[in-house]
Amino acid sequence: MNSATAQISTPRLTQNTAPSIYTIAQLTELVNGEILAGRKDDALSTLAQLQNATHKLETQIHNMKDKRHG
């Protein structure tokens, strides 16, 4: 667990970030299938979506940490 998540209670972290984590899991599965199927352009598009979803999750965790200390 990294320092940002270590300071947030597990139930709160899970409740607030579950939708983003689920989206990341779905996109990861999708991009893997696209890569295996040789659909390079689709995979690149999905990777961009995956990057955005990951950034959103990082921001959520950071904001939760800031609220706890604010």
pLDDT of 4 strictly over 60: no
Residue 9: pLDDT band by 50, 70, 90 thresholds? Answer: confident
Predicted local confidence at residue 27, as pLDDT: 97
Q: What number of CA atoms fall less than 13 Å from residue 49's CA on the CB side?
A: 16
pTM as predicted = 0.77
Predicted local confidence at residue 11, as pLDDT: 83
Q: How far apart are CA 55 and CA 70, in angstroms?
A: 22
Residue 24: pLDDT band by 50, 70, 90 thresholds? Answer: very high
